[in-house]
């Protein structure tokens, strides 16, 4: 059998469904797209830069899956509305939306300039809302569906990233609101909050931030970082019929890190909670993050 995504879910689980993954060209979004496609979905990869989307679509095709691309700037409400309308017209349906697109930068709150603050809020909060609203308007209001938003471990505040902490917390509240308002239309709305994950996104931060993160991140009850596959599995579960009675919920995939009152609470090193990594094309993490992540 050829190598492919080793999903724990039944083959064909998502057959016939159309799944939109914003920010699907890199990191966690790329992994979610691969797993959804491996389960039979037609995946629409959306993002501002077309090149990464086309590269992932080619990977999915090479693995035997189906994927399409859609240029999309989620900050532009009119562009989002037009893009969602186009996706529905092209594919005939839109069963699942994964709001994965987002962005932030490390900075003490006192040093965040208004432009930077607005950019992060506009992407992580406003963009998520625009996509949800357009998906509801153009398909889900009449046909139902599932929306899953990727947020973050911001439960005890988010020192060093106040902008994204505020935006992600708002998305959690938005998730609860939409779950109530849209339930009668057959729409379930949930979120997934990853903790520290071994993802290509780690390489986007300055070396100084990476060095601190490499020391701090494994200091959680699981004594390791998570994998993209572990986040993707939670997202796919929420898409599935097994989650039919779950809406308005945020699933934490963080190794128990959010339970800690102090971020630097000493944790004994151990390998009792090994990682699961079924993504056959997972990006290699930066060297300082390698080792001790376990095997699936």
Q: What is the pLDDT of residue 159?
A: 87
Q: What is the pLDDT of residue 296?
A: 39
Nearest-angstrom CA–CA distance, 127 and 124: 6
- Top-level CATH class of 18-289? alpha beta
Q: What is the pLDDT of residue 200?
A: 64
Nearest-angstrom CA–CA distance, 256 and 254: 5
Per run of 10 residues, the mean pLDDT along the chain (length 296 residues) is 82 98 96 98 97 98 97 97 98 98 90 96 98 98 98 90 96 98 98 87 70 75 91 98 98 92 61 87 79 47
Q: What is the pLDDT of residue 196?
A: 85
Q: What is the pLDDT of residue 271?
A: 84
Adjacent-strand bridge partners of 216: none
Q: What is the pLDDT of residue 265?
A: 44
Tokens of 104: 């932030």
CB 13 within 8 A of CB 36: no
Which of 120, 105, 29 lies closest to 70 in space, CA to CA? 29
Q: What is the pLDDT of residue 262?
A: 58
Residue the block writes with tokens 């849209």 = 182
Q: What is the pLDDT of residue 215?
A: 75
User: What b/e readout covers 68-88, taking b as 16+ CB neighbours within 10 angstroms?
Assistant: bbbebbbbbbeebbebbeebb
Q: What is the pLDDT of residue 188?
A: 98
- The full DSSP string for the chain is -------SSPTTTTTT-EEEEETTTSHHHHHHHHHHHHTTPEEEEEES-HHHHHHHHHHHHHTT-EEEEEE--TT-HHHHHHHHHHHHHHHS---EEEE-------B-GGG--HHHHHHHHIIIIIHHHHHHHHHIIIIIHHH-EEEEEE----BTB-TTBHHHHHHHHHHHHHHHHHHHHTGGGTEEEEEEEE-SEE-GGGGGS-HHHHHHHHHHTT-STTSS-EEHHHHHHHHHHHHSGGGTT--S-EEEESTTGGG-SSTT-------SS------TTPPPPPGGG-SS----
Radius of gyration of the chain measured on its C-alpha atoms: 18
Q: What is the pTM of this model?
A: 0.87
């Amino acid at each position: 059998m050829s190598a492919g995504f080793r999903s724990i879910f039944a083959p064909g689980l998502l057959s016939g469904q159309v799944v939109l993954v914003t920010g699907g060209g890199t990191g966690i979004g790329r992994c979610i797209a691969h797993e959804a496609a491996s389960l039979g979905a037609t995946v629409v990869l959306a993002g501002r830069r077309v090149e990464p989307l086309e590269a992932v679509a080619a990977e999915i095709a090479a693995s035997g899956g189906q994927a399409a691309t859609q240029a999309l700037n989620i900050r532009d409400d009119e562009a989002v509305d037009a893009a969602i309308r186009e996706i529905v017209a092209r594919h005939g349906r839109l069963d699942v939306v994964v709001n994965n697109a987002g962005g932030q930068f490390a900075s003490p709150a006192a040093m965040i300039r208004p432009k930077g603050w607005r950019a992060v809020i506009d992407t992580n909060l406003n963009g998520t809302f625009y996509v949800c609203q357009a998906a509801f308007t153009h398909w889900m209001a009449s046909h139902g569906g599932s929306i899953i938003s990727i947020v973050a471990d911001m439960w005890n505040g988010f020192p060093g990233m106040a902008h994204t902490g505020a935006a992600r917390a708002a998305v959690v509240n938005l998730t609860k609101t939409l779950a109530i308002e849209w339930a009668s239309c057959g729409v379930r709305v949930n979120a997934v909050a990853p903790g520290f994950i071994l993802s290509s996104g780690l390489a986007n931060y300055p070396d100084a931030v990476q060095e601190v993160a490499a020391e701090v991140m494994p200091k959680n009850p699981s004594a390791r970082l998570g994998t993209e596959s572990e986040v993707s599995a939670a997202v796919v579960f929420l898409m599935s019929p097994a989650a039919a009675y779950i809406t308005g919920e945020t699933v934490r995939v963080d190794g128990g890190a959010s339970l800690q009152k102090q971020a630097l609470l000493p944790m004994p090193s151990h390998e009792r909670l090994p990682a699961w990594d079924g993504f056959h094309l997972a990006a290699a993490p930066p060297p300082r993050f390698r080792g001790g992540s376990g095997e699936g």
